[in-house]
C-alpha cells in the first residue's frame, strides 16, 4: 500500500514538473511576443486589405490592446508547442517500453508539426476564402464594415480549431497502433466518423456552411491519411 502511494506521489510530482516547465516556457515567450504583436497585427490588417480594399475599424479604446494579447497568446502556444509536447513525453516516458518510447517520441514531434500546419493552412488558405465569401454579399445598398476585433478573433479561433483538428490522423494512427481499436473497426465506422467530423466542424466554426466545409473536408482527408498509415503498420506487423 505504501509503495502504491509512493508511486502515485512520484507520478503527481512528475506531472507537476511537466506543467511547471510548460507554463514557464509560455510565460517566458509571451513577453517578447507581446512586444512584436503590434507589427503582426499590422501585417494581418494589410493582408486583409489586399483581399478587397477592406478597412478595419475598432470601437473601443482598449480593443486593440486586447487583440494584441490574443495574438501573442496564440503565437505563444504555437511556438511553445514543441516544449509542451516534450515535457509531457518525458512524463509518460518511464512507464513505456523501448518500442513505445520511439513511437511516443515521433508522435510528440508530429503533434507540434501538425498543429503549426493547421494554423498555417487556416491563415493562408481558408480564412481569406471566408472573408471573400462574406464580401460577396456587398452591393450598392449594402456595404460591409469589418470590426478588427471580430475579424481577428475569428481568425485566431479558427486557427486554434484547425490546429486541433489537424491532430486527427495522429489520433487515428495512435488508437490503431496501441490496440485500443482495430483497423477493421475504424474502417467500418467511417459513416459515424463523417458525421462526427461535421458536428465538430459546426461546433468549432461560425454558423456558415463555407467555414464548416473548409474545416470538415481537410479533417476527413487527414483521418483517411491516418487510417492509411495504420493500415501500413498493420501490414508490416502481419508480415513479421
pLDDT tens digit sequence for 148-171: 888 888 888 888 888 888 888 887
Pick the last residue of a domain from 107, 142, 160.
160
Pick the last residue of a domain from 160, 179, 212.
160
For residues 39 and 56, what is the distance between their CA atoms, to the nearest angstrom? 15
- Indicate whether 153 and 205 sit together in one domain: no
Domain count for the chain: 2
Residue 2: its pLDDT value, please? Answer: 46
- pTM score: 0.74
Pick the last residue of a domain from 112, 136, 160.
160
Domain boundaries, position 114: 1-160
- Indicate whether 222 and 130 sit together in one domain: no
Q: Tens digit of pLDDT for each residue in 211-227?
A: 788 888 888 888 888 88
213: cell is: 466545409
- Indicate whether 126 and 229 sit together in one domain: no
Q: 209 in helix, strand or coil? A: helix
Q: Tens digit of pLDDT for each residue in 87-128?
A: 776 666 655 556 566 666 677 778 778 888 888 888 888 888
Instruction: Among 131-145, 153-167, 170-184, name the one with the lowest average pLDDT.
Output: 170-184
Eight-class DSSP state of 1: -
For residues 179 and 160, what is the distance between their CA atoms, to the nearest angstrom? 29
C-alpha distances in Å from residue 122, one per residue of 119, 155, 166:
5, 8, 11
Amino acid at each position: 500500500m505504501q509503495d502504491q502511494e509512493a508511486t502515485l506521489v512520484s507520478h503527481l510530482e512528475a506531472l507537476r514538473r511537466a506543467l511547471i516547465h510548460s507554463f514557464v516556457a509560455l510565460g517566458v515567450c509571451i513577453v517578447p511576443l507581446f512586444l512584436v504583436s503590434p507589427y503582426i497585427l499590422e501585417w494581418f490588417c494589410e493582408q486583409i486589405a489586399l483581399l478587397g480594399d477592406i478597412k478595419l475599424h475598432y470601437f473601443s479604446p482598449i480593443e486593440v490592446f486586447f487583440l494584441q494579447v490574443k495574438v501573442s497568446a496564440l503565437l505563444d502556444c504555437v511556438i511553445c508547442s514543441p516544449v509542451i509536447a516534450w515535457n509531457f513525453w518525458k512524463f509518460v516516458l518511464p512507464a513505456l517500453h523501448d518500442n513505445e518510447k520511439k513511437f511516443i517520441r515521433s508522435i510528440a514531434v508530429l503533434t507540434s508539426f501538425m498543429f503549426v500546419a493547421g494554423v498555417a493552412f487556416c491563415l493562408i488558405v481558408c480564412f481569406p476564402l471566408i472573408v471573400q465569401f462574406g464580401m460577396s454579399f456587398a452591393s450598392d445598398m449594402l456595404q460591409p464594415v469589418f470590426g478588427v476585433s471580430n475579424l481577428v478573433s475569428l481568425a485566431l479561433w479558427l486557427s486554434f480549431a484547425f490546429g486541433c483538428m489537424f491532430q486527427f490522423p495522429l489520433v487515428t494512427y495512435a488508437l490503431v497502433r496501441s490496440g485500443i481499436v482495430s483497423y477493421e473497426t475504424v474502417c467500418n465506422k467511417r459513416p459515424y466518423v463523417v458525421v462526427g467530423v461535421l458536428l465538430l466542424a459546426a461546433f468549432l466554426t461560425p454558423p456558415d456552411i463555407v467555414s464548416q466545409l473548409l474545416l470538415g473536408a481537410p479533417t476527413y482527408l487527414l483521418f483517411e491519411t491516418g487510417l492509411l498509415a495504420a493500415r501500413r503498420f498493420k501490414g508490416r506487423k502481419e508480415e513479421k
